[in-house]
Structure 1
Amino acid sequence: MKFLKYVLIIILIAVIVLAIYIAVQPGAYHVTRSATINAPSAVVHRYIDDFEKRRDWDPWFEQEPEAEVTFGDKTSGVGAFYSWKGELLGEGSLETVYVSEDSIARVIKFIKPFESASDIYWTIEPQENATKVTWGMKGDMGFMEKAMITFSGGMDKMIGPDYERGLKKLDSVILAGMKKYTVTDNGPVDYGGGYYMYLTTSCRQSELGQKMGVMYGEIQAFMKNNAIDMAGMPFALYHEWDENAGTTMFSACIPVKEKIITPGGSNVLCGYMEPQRYYKTTLRGDY
């Protein structure tokens, strides 16, 4: 019995010493990794800002691609939000709280395996023919977090390799995307003006492609029913573009040869673009 008693005392002392050791470990942490991506800063910014693009390069989604992911009403700009739930990834959420041309700030909250919160930040620095990207996370750990992290080698050792993997994948995804299309700077051109049929709406930027497809279909149906011929390729006029709110107001347009008088109550209307000098760029490939 005395032997067992001594063993229990030794175990108790070891537990107390271990608890003290964990308690005195620094609670604050700051993990950061940087990479240079051979792409314009605006392109890099768009891939980082838009949560819907995150699945293409996020190192944790790569670990558990079947994890349940729910996006908020906004997927880019301030207020963009998504949550996740998985066997390996646990449960939590990420929200964008600040966006500028050269930085993005977010708050990440974990629910499982334990509750915690950290600040996530990105800096995007334009360089000659490239962009330097820095991905960082900082916060303070409670006792349970310190207990887990301490025996994993520290937060930097635990998170740093994932950040490195994510930046490497981000670079690959962006460069692959840029190869799908080319942009030609045509410079100033004279446009002779002309009429066009159009529909106008407001929507989230993430819905733009879907909205355009529906609107062009409605305009084409109207033109077919009224025997109106197209006089050129469809185009879009952007009236508002709010990067922070993630919204836009635009018109889907199809050129016609002459002015069309539309019936009262028609959603499809006829507009006119004045003859003037415009600046032209041409994109070929995936939009």
Structure 2
Amino acid sequence: MKAFKYILLLLLVFIIGFSIYVAVQPNEFSFDRSRTINAPASLLYQKVNDYKEWPSFSPWIEQEPEASLTYSDKTIGEGAFYSWKGEILGEGKMTTKSTEVNKSIKQLIEFTAPFEAHSDINWTFEPSDEGTTVTWAMEGKQDFVSKLFTTIMGSIETETGPNFERGLFKLDSLITEDMARYNIEINGISEYGGSFYLFKTTNAKSTNISAKMGENFGAVMQFMGSNGIVPYGMPMTVYNTMEENNVIMSNGLPVNERHSIPDGSDISIGYIPKTKVLKTTLLGNYNYLSKAWEATMDHIKENNLVQSELKPFEIYVTDPGNFPNPADWKTEIYIPLEE
């Protein structure tokens, strides 16, 4: 009997001591995981800000893809939410509390089964030299039940941190794959209507052609702004010479009439007359332009088409500033043909 009393006493002491240990654990928790992704902040922000996109990178839905998901009528921005119910995931809800476009998203996550709890989720998108550093953070308070659970099962960070890492990895993979999409379409023979264009000419190599284009377009836009000239279309490049290590190109913008150019200016005005052309459209990153040109020249050869003396040119239909995903950039290639 004495032994039994001693056991009960020891058990009571253990329970009291363990309860005190649990009670003095931190009342709050916070942790985060970060990953630098080679993509613009706006593209990553758009992906995370739309709950319809979450199944593609959520590490939890990956664990139970057949879980039931319910979305609010509006799935983007402040007030949007989605909820889940599953055998593994339990039940819960995620709501967007506030956003700062392309910079941050604040959310509230609420668990209703098999236990009740809630925490704050914070996303930040910080531009860097390598792309964008995406940080996924979680913070909240711990009541006695939460402290007891984490004391026995491990901290919330230990349990959830690897899931954040997995989610960021999946987000990186999805965005990278999406940005790499491209399509080349040979549109066929048509007629280009003709236009005047202001331009600056330079020579370039494959290693610096993008930088040279940027300088030329900048110079042309500065000239037009200083002289009150309004562009009449999207930027274009006329290729005077196209060799592997020597490209002579004229980068410019179309205008609706001939303009006088001051003596000594490095800006010139040109004219492309109405002419028969072979048109090709590239939808995708400018990195794929070489493939588009190759497909175009193969088409000319296979169909016995003859180029005219007019120089081939490109028109950049979409402004990358308005389309963060390079897969959405549209470039049109025109090869003037003999009548």
The interval holding the TM-score normalised by the smaller chain is 0.5 to 0.7
2:98/2:105 contact within 8 Å kept: yes
**Deviation at 1:147?**
0.6
The amino acid across from 2:49 in the alignment is D
What residue in structure 1 maps to residue 106 of structure 2?
105
What residue in structure 1 maps to residue 299 of structure 2?
none
CA distance in 1, matches of 2:183, 2:141: 45
Task: Tell me the alpha carbon deviations over residues 203-223 of structure 1, each in whole angstroms, 9 at most, x when there is no partner.
Answer: xxxxxxxxxxxxxxxxxxxxx
Cα distance change, pair 100–285 in 1 and its aligned pair in 2 (3 A): closer
**2:45 is the alignment partner of 1:8:** no
Aligned residue pair count: 202
The amino acid across from 2:147 in the alignment is K
Task: Tell me the alpha carbon deviations over residues 57-108 of structure 1, each in whole angstroms, 9 at most, x when there is no partner.
Answer: 1111111111111011111111110011111111110000111120000011
**Which shifted more, 49-58 or 153-162?**
153-162
**2:139 is the alignment partner of 1:138:** yes
**Bigger CA radius of gyration:** 2
**Deviation at 1:19?**
0.9
Cα distance change, pair 284–59 in 1 and its aligned pair in 2 (3 A): closer
What residue in structure 1 maps to residue 168 of structure 2?
167
Task: Tell me the alpha carbon deviations over residues 20-67 of structure 1, each in whole angstroms, 9 at most, x when there is no partner.
Answer: 110010021001011000111111111111111110111111111111
Cα distance change, pair 139–284 in 1 and its aligned pair in 2 (3 A): closer
CA distance in 2, matches of 1:286, 1:3: 81
What residue in structure 2 maps to residue 128 of structure 1?
129
**When the two structures are superposed, what TM-score results if normalisation uses the length of structure 1?**
0.64
**2:235 is the alignment partner of 1:187:** yes
What residue in structure 2 maps to residue 42 of structure 1?
42
The amino acid across from 1:104 in the alignment is I
What residue in structure 1 maps to residue 228 of structure 2?
none
CA distance in 2, matches of 1:181, 1:79: 34
The amino acid across from 2:96 in the alignment is T
Structure 1 gaps of 5+ residues are 193-277
**2:67 is the alignment partner of 1:67:** yes
Percent identity of the aligned residues? 43
The amino acid across from 1:127 in the alignment is S
**Deviation at 1:117?**
1.1
2:93/2:110 contact within 8 Å kept: yes
What residue in structure 2 maps to residue 91 of structure 1?
91
**When the two structures are superposed, what TM-score results if normalisation uses the length of structure 2?**
0.55
CA distance in 2, matches of 1:284, 1:86: 35
Which of 318, 329, 334 is the matching residue for 1:281? 318
What residue in structure 2 maps to residue 32 of structure 1?
32
1:40/1:129 contact within 8 Å kept: no
CA distance in 1, matches of 2:327, 2:110: 41
CA distance in 2, matches of 1:39, 1:284: 12
SS in 2 for 1:180: coil
Larger RCO, structure (CA 8 Å, separation 6 or more): 1
CA distance in 1, matches of 2:60, 2:115: 17
CA distance in 2, matches of 1:8, 1:129: 62
2:30/2:138 contact within 8 Å kept: yes
Structure 2 gaps of 5+ residues are 185-212, 214-233, 237-252, 257-314, 320-325, 331-339
Alignment of 1:218-257 (within 5 A): none
The amino acid across from 1:55 in the alignment is P
1:97/1:107 contact within 8 Å kept: yes
Cα distance change, pair 4–60 in 1 and its aligned pair in 2 (3 A): same
